[in-house]
Structure 1
Amino acid sequence: MNLRRLRSFVALAEELHFTRAAAKLFVAQQSLSKQIAELESDIGTPLLRRTSRRVELTPAGEVFLAAAREVLARFDQGVAEARRVGQGEQATLRVGFVVGAALELTTHILSEFTRRHPAARVELQEFGFADPSAGLAGATTDVAFIRLPSSTHGLMATPLFTEPCVVGVSASHRLSSRDRVRVADLLGEPIAIGRTDDSMWRDFWTLASHRRGRRARNLVETRSQSEEVEVVAAGMACSVTPAAARRYSPHPGVRFITIEDHPGSVVAVAHRSDRRNPLVASFVDAATAVRDREPGILRMIQGTPGNR
């Protein structure tokens, strides 16, 4: 099996016409037919059905087409990266993240990746509430630290840890002196929520699964973490948020209280399933390696701290 046969098969699968596919590849139709026959022989099963009127993919051909496209894309990306490096340019990995990234694991992960790839250039970009995918949905990043649950259509996510949730309330709020609350204590409260079209993300942070199908009322939309904190401090709304808000978003007018019965938020390293950058797999490997060797940091992140 070789790349020439894969390219021949992909071209024919896209055109579903031997003459057009041969013209696209700048080869004779007889040569294309031979490439396809040899490929089917290598694999051991028909990939196409041929009749006098049409060409169509077999079920095996449909499966193989996805694999062939991925192999060719990775190979072409590798060639492009190798050429850039050979010409003195650095290979670049675009890393997106939402607020907090991977918390205290972030610097360890970045250090581990740069240790493995000292010649690579890492470009970091933070994304606000509007894009929980941290640039992956629009392909402006190669890999990202995201929070689940959120819409992950077309993405592959590797969980790193699960963090407890807390509710932020103003210092004068009726619940501010409590150490712990239950979701039932919050269902009648106005909730601050980031402005986004991701319904899964919105539902989680507005406690939708606890509302028995009823829509949350009195939602206050915000565009950033700092804006959300100010809204809470002013007593305009409460905010369901990760426990790390205590460390990353402290405010003298806000109290963070542990929520006993709401699931934790999962932090994951994610990438597109059709990824093109060969550095992505290495970044994911570095992230999981750091996660596995830092149990102390994980225990601190995943613990359920008391109120401050």
Structure 2
Amino acid sequence: MSEVTLRQLRYFAALGEELNYRRAAERLFITQPALSTAIKALEQAFGVVLFTRSTREVALTDLGAAWLPQVQQALAGVDAVVDNLVTLSGTRQGRLRLGYLIGTGADLLFRIVRHFEAAYPEVSVEPIEFDFADPTAGLSSGATEVALIRPPVDLPEHRMLILDSESWVACLPRDHPLAGRHEVGIAELLDDPIVCAPLTAGPWRDYWLAMDVRGNRPPTIAAVAATYEAETTSIARGLGISFTTSSVARFYDRPGIVYVPITDRPPSHTALAWNPAALSPQADALVRHVQAHWSFGDTPDDPPR
């Protein structure tokens, strides 16, 4: 008899609910080819067809549509059983270290903490802020168990759940030639000196330097900054520009700088990240709570006081 893994069931449920490989892969934080391979392996193992695929759409077959609610019910049961075991053991009492990268989902962070603490009053959440020198927000060093970050980061053993996405914006000195524009293209700014994160930020630094589109045009580093305060101060002084996100434009508006939307960059994601092999019961409770109550780009209403 063929065996099915819990991971395959989660992959099937995600694709069955999204009916879109890109969205399902983002939700699972895997690549589209990996998701496609897993679904094909599941179908081949049982000799069934669960989805019909074309260049334009993905649809459940009659068999897939009949099986989806059963899989959803089974997954909910597994989660509830694990959740109940930890609850019965009483090991969720205690403190949870939740890391977050400075300026990353500030409003999202506090909604998560408030919503979780309302559901688990026996757990005390300790948010810990990290600057650009550590975009893993303490996960790489083990200083935190769960963290709100902005991929990409070098965390191959970690899982990530995408919670939100934002567009890129350029932070410019107020007297910059493009400061009066309503929008810009990334290529228009690649020759400008740029304020960037410390070298310890690794691939995250390269991402915000837009290295993927520079080709043979290396960036001119105007200054290195580990915080938005230092970054925006350097830009207000006219030392250079930076690339950031739309939420930063809301939270870090300062005299002497202007934020202009960038039209041709893929969105930047905010993700909850954790190492599944090193979760305390408190961290596991938070991860499961967020998985159960959050959907991509949305958060539940604030809990009643």
CA RMSD of superposed structures (Å): 2.6
Does the C-alpha gap of structure 1 residues 156 and 218 become closer, same or farther in structure 2, counting only changes over 3 Å? Answer: same
Whole-Å Cα distance in 2 between the matches of residues 286 and 122 of structure 1?
Answer: 13
1:135 alignment partner in structure 2 = 138
Contact 1:167 1:241 in 2 (8 A): yes
For residues 120-175 of structure 1, the C-alpha deviation after alignment (integer angstroms, 9 at most, x for no partner) is 11111100011000001010111000001222222211111111010100111111
1:40 alignment partner in structure 2 = none
2:194 alignment partner in structure 1 = 191
Question: Which of the numbers 154, 157, 161 marks the counterpart of 1:151?
Answer: 154
Which residue type is aligned with residue 126 of structure 1? Answer: E
Contact 1:165 1:242 in 2 (8 A): yes
Whole-Å Cα distance in 1 between the matches of residues 288 and 250 of structure 2?
Answer: 27
1:110 alignment partner in structure 2 = 113
Which residue type is aligned with residue 251 of structure 1? Answer: R
- % identical equivalent positions: 28
Which residue type is aligned with residue 271 of structure 1? Answer: W
Tell me which stretches of 4 or more aligned residues in structure 1 moved more than 6 Å: none
Instruction: Report the Cα offset of residue 232 of structure 1.
Output: 0.7
Contact 1:129 1:196 in 2 (8 A): no
For residues 164-221 of structure 1, the C-alpha deviation after alignment (integer angstroms, 9 at most, x for no partner) is 0101001111111011000111110011111142331111100101112543223421
Question: Which of the numbers 249, 254, 261 marks the counterpart of 1:251?
Answer: 254
The more displaced of 239-248 and 276-285 is 276-285
Does the C-alpha gap of structure 1 residues 116 and 243 become closer, same or farther in structure 2, counting only changes over 3 Å? Answer: same
2:239 alignment partner in structure 1 = 236
Which residue type is aligned with residue 174 of structure 2? Answer: A
Question: Which of the numbers 168, 171, 176 marks the counterpart of 2:179?
Answer: 176
Whole-Å Cα distance in 2 between the matches of residues 161 and 181 of structure 1?
Answer: 23
2:100 alignment partner in structure 1 = 97
Whole-Å Cα distance in 1 between the matches of residues 109 and 247 of structure 2?
Answer: 13
Which residue type is aligned with residue 221 of structure 2? Answer: N
Instruction: Report the Cα offset of residue 267 of structure 1.
Output: 0.4
SS in 2 for 1:268: strand
The more displaced of 180-189 and 277-286 is 277-286
Structure 2 alignment gaps of length 5 or more: 1-81, 301-305
Confirm or deny that 1:207 pairs with 2:213: no
SS in 2 for 1:180: coil
Does the C-alpha gap of structure 1 residues 288 and 250 become closer, same or farther in structure 2, counting only changes over 3 Å? Answer: farther
Structure 1 alignment gaps of length 5 or more: 1-73, 298-308
SS in 1 for 2:229: helix
2:275 alignment partner in structure 1 = 272
Contact 2:152 2:207 in 1 (8 A): yes
Whole-Å Cα distance in 2 between the matches of residues 118 and 139 of structure 1?
Answer: 24
Instruction: Report the Cα offset of residue 293 of structure 1.
Output: 9.3
2:42 alignment partner in structure 1 = none
Does the C-alpha gap of structure 1 residues 121 and 153 become closer, same or farther in structure 2, counting only changes over 3 Å? Answer: same
Whole-Å Cα distance in 2 between the matches of residues 205 and 101 of structure 1?
Answer: 14
Whole-Å Cα distance in 2 between the matches of residues 289 and 170 of structure 1?
Answer: 43
Contact 1:151 1:198 in 2 (8 A): no
Contact 2:133 2:226 in 1 (8 A): yes
Which residue type is aligned with residue 279 of structure 1? Answer: Q
Instruction: Report the Cα offset of residue 290 of structure 1.
Output: 4.7
The more displaced of 150-159 and 276-285 is 276-285
For residues 78-133 of structure 1, the C-alpha deviation after alignment (integer angstroms, 9 at most, x for no partner) is 79x847x8xxxx41110000123323322221112112210111111100011000
Confirm or deny that 1:167 pairs with 2:170: yes
Contact 2:163 2:298 in 1 (8 A): no
Aligned length: 216
Whole-Å Cα distance in 1 between the matches of residues 205 and 142 of structure 2?
Answer: 22
SS in 2 for 1:125: strand
